[in-house]
Structure 1
Amino acid sequence: MSQSWIKNLSRSGYINNKDLRKIPSPMIGTILNSRYHIIRKLGQGGFGATFIAADRWQNNQHCAIKQLKPDALSPETLYLFEKEAEFLFKLGSHPQIPQLLAHFQEERVFYIVQELIEGNDLTQEIKRGQRLGETQVIKLLIEILEVLEYVHQNQVIHRDIKPANIIRRRDGKIVLIDFGGIKQVRARSANSTLLTAIIGTPGYMPIEQFNNNAHFCSDIHAVGMMGIFALTGIDPDPRIGGFPKRPQAETLWRDKAQVSQQLADVIDKMVKFDYRQRYQSATAVLAALKCLFLPHNWLCVRTLQEHYLPHDAFPFSPDGQILASGSGDKTIKLWQMSTGRKISTLKGHSDGVASLAFSPDGQILASCSSDATIKIWQVSTGREIRTLKGHSDVVMSVAFSPDEQIIVSGSSDNTIKIWQRQ
């Protein structure tokens, strides 16, 4: 960090946001810090922009660069920027948090250089109008909280947990990105008025955080609201969705989801209006959620009859709403789990169905059979899309890759075949 720049700021007191608005974002092709070649822009927010850049000192390895334009600049701002960078460096040792590669200032703007995470954010999994199954939501919450537990153990509050700030990496692991604290760079003006930006997203951010009094359980509130979004398909952001409130300002959501009493109770405690009534640690929430996976008694609630000679082929759709069953009668049947009603019967195989697999988005079903073929079906219509031929014996199993671009099949002909979408 340039000491002369700090001295210049000290003489002038501070640089306000009116000055900062005159500073343009780097253009595509710009080289920052004599090292980072800007390739393309990823996004724009109220605090600056994010870019993909090639590191010319590291064989043009791609990285993510965040440009930060705080409300005001002063020596105090620089100090806070350095402290936040120290936190990011420490947190980056976790395999599910981006590694901090560098930080610098140029043209009176701060830059953070981090590991580029390849994958899709959770807006691709948690969508408006789409409900996820309870088991899927529990697993997702546990994934998030296991990373958040590490963050909180390092005395850091994320402040902006939401689907857009969690990436599902290509290996299936989630990565927590875009920590709000680094945006909360503060400065004192000439008359010593403290300027502090409120960090967070409406619908996820609890009231105490809005009042600049965030606690660890403020992050827990945000994770709980993500769970509600996933279960109901309703975005909690009041600008595009939101939920009604009780007189005590508790969120009313249970009647909009198919959810067990046990999970609903856990989530309600996560999103209590009064932060003192919430779970106070990610560890405590994890314990409560993992208890929901303990063995319970099982009761037969419905019998589905139409198949004969059933094979080991009974996958659920990713949202838990549809069951697919394959049988020795050469057919596949799709069932609505909430009612037990048969949705459709898929016909096309000339021998028994051995295995089935839903694509990760639940739109496609793959089946394999003793007829040595794999068939691809559109779930919404029951229409056969394509037949894959290549095995010389019974195809025993089939599976999709997480990005849905590859299907893998295993056969009694002692081969495994990989089929790539063209």
Structure 2
Amino acid sequence: MKVYCTRPGCPRPHNYFSDLENNSIIRTVQQKYCMTCGMPLILAGRYLPTKLLGKGGFGTAFLAIDRYTPGMRQCVVKQFQPAGNLNQTQMQLAQDLFEREAIVLEELGNQHDQIPALFAYFPLLVENLNCKEEQFFYLVQEYIDGQTLEEELVEKGRFTETEVVQILRDILNLLKFVHNKNIIHRDIKPSNIMYHRNGKLFLLDFGAVKQVTNNPIGSNRSSTGIYSLGFSPPEQISGGQVFPSTDLYALAVTIITLLTGEQEVNKLFDVHSNQIEWRSRVQIDSNLGNILDRMLIAAVNQRFGTATEVLEALSKLPQFSQHQDLETSKSMQSQIQTPVAITNKSRTIPKTRINRSFSSFEILFGAAFTGFEGTLIAIALLNLFSLTVVSLICAAAVFVMLIFSQINRWIEKQDLLIISAITFIVLFFIPLLRGNLGIGEVIILSCGISLIAVAITSLFSLIQKLLSLLL
């Protein structure tokens, strides 16, 4: 088993222990130490970091397992590690922010099922190679297995209007809950919003939270200057007081990046008008555009003041009302049917997936895969059972199953390449499955069918678009 060293700057943080391949040994083994720097690897006696997830302004995140849970539950371990050379005052401020994240996660995570729960928070005092003591701070939180909106944007391109309205509604409801707790997130952006694999949207990284109660409206106390360039309004960039509408501004920028597909927010900023220019890049409902524009106003007193106000404005949009009707219908059906569910930190989450619409690339790539993979399997079936009705039915069923599996996203992305490669290797090394066909003929035939599938799919897509324009 690989265990990752959490000491900053460790030259070889990867450690492998063969005895930890056995789960029963993992639960009882004594402390392990980094073979390079001597850092204790089993944090707080129970958490084993296995992978580096990423680094932020004030911490490094690791994927870890909790050896004291029955299923070796995965979790995220965050280590306090501010970037840059900070003076004592800045270091204390950074540490306070990190501790505040733990406090907020404990308060919010256990009360809302779209905020990761806090499992633990602890310090660690160790000696470095110079025999000097170093102190580290860790917090352990729920691991959300999914994909951030930033990752989806890179992979699939711009989002549709329907998709962003759904995201906008979900995050506004989340912010309504957070703001009612007198807390401001202050770092809303695509990389801090994640879709779990079960379709639930999560708000991540409360490391830059601001307690409104510690900075009441009307006071002269300034913010700590923590923000993400491009997503933060003027009052936050200047180090001034922050408000709930500060989060609304950042959320509007987030939605605009999803709509336009522009990953670099600064490219949307017009220095002449001193505003984000985005309306000419997308075609959306003008009322939705007006709502986003009002969330983006530089003057705080002209912006929407609360998430509730934005939700009320959104409720008047036709697509929002239709989505609410659909959610109501699903809710009524769930009361009649017995749902399949998974349990997560004392709450039950319906095991459903909000299917993202397929991009043009995904559709064409899926068609190519279906043609190639289906042909390989059909060749094997026809050679095993000869040209019989059974073999033809089985071959047709394979094509249907391949298409059905992709529609439901049971197989996607790199799965398609892996499956095709494995099937091709099997035919390559087992001549019986390809009969009288040479490997070159198999490649030509499979690629030919694949191209035909792409051509047919492209034709149907074109016909669909023409019909949608005419109708």
Q: Is the 8 A contact 1:129 1:233 kept in 2?
A: no
Q: What are the Cα deviations for residues 319-353 of structure 1, in whole angstroms up to 9, with x where unaligned?
A: xxxxxxxxxxxxxxxxxxxxxxxxxxxxxxxxxxx
Q: Is the 8 A contact 2:118 2:142 kept in 1?
A: yes
Q: What are the Cα deviations for residues 366-387 of structure 1, in whole angstroms up to 9, with x where unaligned?
A: 9xxxxxxxx95259xxx95555
- 1:252-291 equivalences in 2 (<5 Å): 252-291=277-316
Aligned residue type for 1:46: G
Distance of aligned partners of 1:262 and 1:183 in 2 relative to their CA distance in 1, 3 Å threshold = closer
Aligned-partner Cα distance in 2 for 1:84–1:198: 16
Distance of aligned partners of 1:125 and 1:116 in 2 relative to their CA distance in 1, 3 Å threshold = same
1:24 aligns with 2:8: yes
Distance of aligned partners of 1:54 and 1:182 in 2 relative to their CA distance in 1, 3 Å threshold = farther
Aligned-partner Cα distance in 2 for 1:385–1:230: 33
Aligned-partner Cα distance in 1 for 2:316–2:56: 39
SS of the aligned residue for 2:258 comes to helix
SS of the aligned residue for 2:153 comes to coil
Aligned residue type for 1:242: L
Partner of 1:41: 52
Q: Is the 8 A contact 2:149 2:190 kept in 1?
A: yes
SS of the aligned residue for 1:145 comes to helix
Q: Any gaps of 5 or more consecutive residues in structure 2?
A: 1-6, 16-40, 126-134, 212-220, 322-354, 378-392, 420-471
1:128 deviates by 9.2
Partner of 1:86: 103
Aligned-partner Cα distance in 1 for 2:107–2:42: 27
- 1:334-413 equivalences in 2 (<5 Å): 360-365=358-363, 377-378=367-368, 384-385=371-372, 387=374, 390=394, 398=404, 400=406, 403=409, 405=411
SS of the aligned residue for 1:203 comes to coil
1:64 aligns with 2:76: yes
Partner of 1:224: 252
Greater helix share, 1 or 2?
2
Q: What are the Cα deviations for residues 132-184 of structure 1, in whole angstroms up to 9, with x where unaligned?
A: 32222212211222222211121111111111111110111111111133699
Partner of 1:178: 205
Aligned-partner Cα distance in 1 for 2:356–2:143: 29
Partner of 1:244: 270
- 1:117-196 equivalences in 2 (<5 Å): 117-127=144-154, 130-181=157-208
The counterpart of 1:293, out of the listed 318, 337, 340, is: 318
1:216 deviates by 1.0
Aligned-partner Cα distance in 1 for 2:300–2:222: 25
Distance of aligned partners of 1:261 and 1:44 in 2 relative to their CA distance in 1, 3 Å threshold = same
SS of the aligned residue for 2:183 comes to coil
Greater strand share, 1 or 2?
1
SS of the aligned residue for 1:31 comes to coil
Aligned-partner Cα distance in 1 for 2:93–2:362: 55
Overall identity of the aligned pairs, in %:
33
Distance of aligned partners of 1:104 and 1:277 in 2 relative to their CA distance in 1, 3 Å threshold = same
Aligned residue type for 2:367: W
SS of the aligned residue for 1:377 comes to helix
SS of the aligned residue for 1:53 comes to strand
Distance of aligned partners of 1:150 and 1:385 in 2 relative to their CA distance in 1, 3 Å threshold = farther
Q: Is the 8 A contact 1:100 1:114 kept in 2?
A: yes
Partner of 2:227: 200
Aligned-partner Cα distance in 2 for 1:75–1:130: 41
Aligned-partner Cα distance in 1 for 2:77–2:210: 14
Aligned-partner Cα distance in 1 for 2:189–2:73: 28
Aligned-partner Cα distance in 2 for 1:218–1:291: 23
Aligned residue type for 2:151: Q
Aligned-partner Cα distance in 2 for 1:246–1:132: 28
Aligned-partner Cα distance in 2 for 1:49–1:139: 31
Query: Higher mean Cα deviation, 108-117 or 83-92?
Result: 83-92
Q: Is the 8 A contact 1:180 1:200 kept in 2?
A: no
**Count, aligned residues:** 306
The counterpart of 2:113, out of the listed 84, 92, 95, is: 95
Per the normalisation by structure 1, the TM-score is: 0.62
1:218 deviates by 0.9
Aligned-partner Cα distance in 2 for 1:400–1:97: 30
